[in-house]
């Protein structure tokens, strides 16, 4: 069970929430905004736990009392979380949520309602919530969670205290991945480096991404000595789905980046794939920095094309031929013309 003290990063927000609880100056409504996967909902639920815990100390839940146990089992009457049912958060959900708080907390001092992906409330749902926000009830705390605060109805968001969650720093992601997966630092480093500050994405990359990393490594080795047929064969062996191909290209970029950094600095301490320095030093002998920069740019361009909906096999064939140094750069020629 995650308490406020277990939240990774967001130190100022956690301090402010604990301070509010200790002083009793808890807002009646919060808007937790920030990128996907950085811990907004986790923090909202941990704050709810702290608010309803009967033995709360220092602004955090105890994790062991009867209230904490009931929150953990999802049966505490004073903590409810709603989110989109299908594509939207519907007015019937918001009505139910508002009806439940009309009489204030059932058990302790506070009752907490959390709306996840609050930007997905329909206009009717948002207007219905607005009525509740306009007449705050004592002991009632509403937390809206969103990655797109600009899409939340202005009249709703202006009634909330805003908390902005920043992307997590890489070293915090590394710490968190080590703690959550039990893997050593050199194994979690690639996922932490690629995650763009999102712990959720880092975990996805770690679980699905290590296979992609091995695949990327094999592809680069084979492309280093490939002819046209080999390059085309590699493209047809690669995963056919867009969802798997994009992380694969991310990993190829990461390997090429490491080879380039090793070429330039000779310093294994700067490698993301630090566990593979032997292989990287061998590849570093085969490519110049200028060539590696071109390969990284080519891979990045192919990635962008895939995100824009290009055919996976065609994009990979064209990319792998180019990485193997085989064909004139058709795209660049097109750009020139």
Min CB(78)–Zn ion separation in Å: 13
Residue number, 65 or 310, with CB nearest to Zn ion: 65
Residue number, 53 or 235, with CB nearest to Zn ion: 53
Question: Pick from 146, 180, 183: which is nearest to 165 by CA?
Answer: 146
What's the distance, CA 169 to chain centroid? 12
Min CB(18)–Zn ion separation in Å: 14
Q: What is the number of other CB atoms lying within 10 angstroms of the CB of residue 246?
A: 18
What's the CA gap between 203 and 181, in Å, rounded?
9
Residue number, 72 or 170, with CB nearest to Zn ion: 72
Question: Pick from 197, 198, 201, 202: which is nearest to 177 by CA?
Answer: 202
Left, alpha or beta for 89 (phi > 0: left; psi -120 to 50: alpha)? beta
Min CB(116)–Zn ion separation in Å: 23
Min CB(139)–Zn ion separation in Å: 17
- With H, G, I as helix, E, B as strand and everything else as coil, classify residue 113: strand
Contact 143, 47 (CB under 8 A): yes
Residue number, 62 or 274, with CB nearest to Zn ion: 62
Residue number, 65 or 178, with CB nearest to Zn ion: 65
**Which positions touch Zn ion (CB under 5 A)?**
53, 55, 61-62, 65, 68
Min CB(51)–Zn ion separation in Å: 11
């Amino acid at each position: 069970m995650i308490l406020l003290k277990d939240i990774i990063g967001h130190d100022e927000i956690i301090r402010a929430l604990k301070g509010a609880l200790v002083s009793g100056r808890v807002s009646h409504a919060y808007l937790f905004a920030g990128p996907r996967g950085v811990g907004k909902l986790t923090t909202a639920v941990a704050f709810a736990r702290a608010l309803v815990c009967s033995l709360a100390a220092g602004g955090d839940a105890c994790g062991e009392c009867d209230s904490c146990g009931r929150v953990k089992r999802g049966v505490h009457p004073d903590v409810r979380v709603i989110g989109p049912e299908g594509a939207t958060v519907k007015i019937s959900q918001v009505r139910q949520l508002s009806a439940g708080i009309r009489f204030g907390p059932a058990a302790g001092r506070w009752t907490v309602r959390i709306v996840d992906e609050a930007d997905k409330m329909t206009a009717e749902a948002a207007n219905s919530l607005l009525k509740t926000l306009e007449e705050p009830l004592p002991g009632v705390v509403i937390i809206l969670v969103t990655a797109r605060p600009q899409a939340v109805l202005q009249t709703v968001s202006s009634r909330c205290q805003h908390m902005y969650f920043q992307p997590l720093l890489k070293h915090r992601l590394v710490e968190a991945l080590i703690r959550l997966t039990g893997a050593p630092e050199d194994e979690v480093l690639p996922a932490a480096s690629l995650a763009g500050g999102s712990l959720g994405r880092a975990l996805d990359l770690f679980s699905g991404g290590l296979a992609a990393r091995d695949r990327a490594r094999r592809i680069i080795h084979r492309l280093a000595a490939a002819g046209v047929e080999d390059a085309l064969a590699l493209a047809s062996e690669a995963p056919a789905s867009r969802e798997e191909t994009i992380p694969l290209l991310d990993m190829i970029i990461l390997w090429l980046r490491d080879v380039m950094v090793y070429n330039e600095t000779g310093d294994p301490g700067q490698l993301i794939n630090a566990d593979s320095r032997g292989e990287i030093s061998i590849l570093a002998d085969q490519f110049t920095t200028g060539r590696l920069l071109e390969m990284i740019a080519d891979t990045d361009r192919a990635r962008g094309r895939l995100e824009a909906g290009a055919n996976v096999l065609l994009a990979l064939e064209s990319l792998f031929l180019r990485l193997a140094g085989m064909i004139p750069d058709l795209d660049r020629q097109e750009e020139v013309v």
